[in-house]
Homo-oligomer: A and B are copies of this chain.
Amino acid sequence: MAELVQRYLDEILAEHRDSTEGRLADYIPELATVDPSGFAVSLQLTDGFVYESGDTATEFTIQSISKPFTYALALERAGFDAVDARIGVEPTGEAFNEISVDHRTKAPKNAMINAGAIAAASLMPGSTPQARFECILDFYSACAGRTLEVDEDVYRSEKATGSRNRAIAYMLQSFGMLDGDPDEALDVYTRQCAIRVTSTDLARMASTLARGGRNPQSGQRVLSGAVVQRTLAVMMTCGMYDATGNWVSSVGMPAKSGVGGGLLTVLPGQLGIGVYSPRLDDTGNSVRGAKVCRSLSARLGLHFLSVSRESRSIIRATRDVAAGVRVYELHGDLLFTGAEQALRTVEEDSADIEVVILEVSGVDDSNDVARSMLAGMRESLRRAGKEGCLVDPDRTVLTAGSASDAVVYSTVEEALAAVLDRRGR
């Protein structure tokens, strides 16, 4: 049955396979010699399962798709303030290799253009370029779930021909946006662009972002949620160069492409996609890669601004288990809007009840604000001489680190017994 999904991917690949639009990047000979017909798509769910179609074993260099990852690593290691002082978050319509800096601050406009990416590479920890690169390679490998390697031919070739990037590095230094030796920062960046990946590696890296910074396969947390949120925001507004508006309108997933032919997209909370097709359009994006993403978004309903839900209540059922003791069964996401609804309903009922039991075993997700709102509800009941407690057998809502005074039970029965006991009934 899962072959249904497999079939979707196969069909989409088949639809676009014959397109020979676009052409190979040729600014270094190594990129111009790859097989132009290479075509692959990989999709990883956030539980780690991967679908693959096409040449998913083919390795290619990651190129600009490295940019969001090194940016994320810089945020993680150097902190938001240090990074924000050097790299902006505003889009620019210009091509990837332009020197595009803020008119006033002289900081590169964002981390998705070369200037910002070189600045990000310069912020890696480590006293030597080698150490700084190891830091990057280890991180990418942790995201991809396997040890990645550098394509030494591509690295050497780009290093030999990269006078444009050298210009950018020196320009950044002249603006005070790059400490240390520009050639060293450039070397780290050039190496990072030459790391070899497959479409499946990209899908795994994407779903690490989709899962908020945790590798779905290994379970390892490699980035904080705040860093992922920022990285996805920048990918969304700056990742596809001058077609941002069109991409957000038609695909609706944060994405990043590379001149090696790779393209990576993320549906936050859901999945990650990696595509490979080396023929590029005029803006340097993979032609078939972009088409596949458009098809996937439309066919599978992946646009992140799609609002399909018909607004079901978080309260799936209520029942009185004793006089004045009402159980509320909560389902779905217990975030701000869910918690708000729960609070409001309980309040409306409050004349009739003395004890509120929230049964949250059906809850999918919760966050700090919701937890703090539940704490507020309990406090509010207490002040009115009433009581609230939680049935949360899997500790979905009250995870480690939550307020210690919360009253939590594994079953409604257990909760009811305790309540009746406490209230002297």
CB distance from A165 to the nearest CB of B (A): 8
* Proximity string of chain A (170-211) to chain B, C-beta cutoff 8 Å, 1 when within and 0 when not: 110111000000100000000000000000000000000011
> Do A47 and B311 touch (CB < 8 A)?
yes
> How many copies of this chain are found per oligomer?
4
Query: A29 interface residue, CB < 8 Å from B?
Result: no
Q: A312 contacts which of B230, B267, B364, B367 (Cβ < 8 Å)?
A: B364
Contacts of A5 in B (CB 8 A): 340, 343, 373
> Do B252 and A302 touch (CB < 8 A)?
no
Contacts of A268 in B (CB 8 A): 305-307
Query: A85 interface residue, CB < 8 Å from B?
Result: no
Q: A364 contacts which of B269, B332, B343 (Cβ < 8 Å)?
A: B332
Nearest CB to that of A378 among chain B residues?
Answer: B1
> Do B248 and A307 touch (CB < 8 A)?
no
Q: Which 8 A-B residue pairings sit nearest by Cβ, starting from the closest?
A: A212-B307, A164-B174, A167-B171, A309-B365, A167-B170, A90-B245, A89-B245, A163-B174
Give the complex CA separation of A88 and B242 in angstroms: 13
Contacts of A333 in B (CB 8 A): 309, 332, 364
Give the complex CA separation of A13 and B194 in angstroms: 51
Q: Which of A5, A244, A337, A365 has most chain B Cβ within 10 Å?
A: A337
> Do B163 and A89 touch (CB < 8 A)?
no
Nearest CB to that of A335 among chain B residues?
Answer: B301
Q: Choose, from A59-67, A138-146, A231-239, A278-286, the stretch at the interface.
A: A231-239
> Do B170 and A344 touch (CB < 8 A)?
no
Query: A258 interface residue, CB < 8 Å from B?
Result: no
Q: A245 contacts which of B49, B166, B237, B309 (Cβ < 8 Å)?
A: B237
A368-404 contacts to B (CB < 8 Å): 368-370, 373, 376-377, 380-381, 396
Nearest CB to that of A110 among chain B residues?
Answer: B245
* Proximity string of chain A (102-137) to chain B, C-beta cutoff 8 Å, 1 when within and 0 when not: 000000001000000000000000000000000000
> Do B174 and A229 touch (CB < 8 A)?
no
Contacts of A162 in B (CB 8 A): 174
CB distance from A53 to the nearest CB of B (A): 14
> Do A167 and B174 touch (CB < 8 A)?
yes
* Proximity string of chain A (253-264) to chain B, C-beta cutoff 8 Å, 1 when within and 0 when not: 010000000000
Give the complex CA separation of A243 and B304 in angstroms: 21
Residues of A within 8 A of B (CB): 1-5, 45-47, 49, 88-91, 93, 99, 110, 162-164, 166-171, 173-175, 182, 210-213, 216, 225, 228-230, 232-234, 236-238, 242-246, 248-249, 252, 254, 267-271, 299-313, 316, 331-333, 335-337, 340-341, 343-344, 346-347, 350, 361-362, 364-370, 373, 376-377, 380-381, 396
13 pairs from A and B in contact (CB 8 Å cutoff) = A1-B347, A4-B377, A45-B337, A45-B341, A99-B99, A163-B182, A167-B173, A269-B307, A301-B335, A302-B336, A306-B367, A308-B365, A332-B332
Contacts of A340 in B (CB 8 A): 2, 5, 45, 49
Nearest CB to that of A235 among chain B residues?
Answer: B305
Give the complex CA separation of A271 and B248 in angstroms: 21
CB distance from A41 to the nearest CB of B (A): 15
> Do B216 and A311 touch (CB < 8 A)?
yes
- Given A2-B344, A234-B249, are A337 and B271 also a contact pair (CB < 8 Å)? yes
Contacts of A175 in B (CB 8 A): 164
CB distance from A158 to the nearest CB of B (A): 12
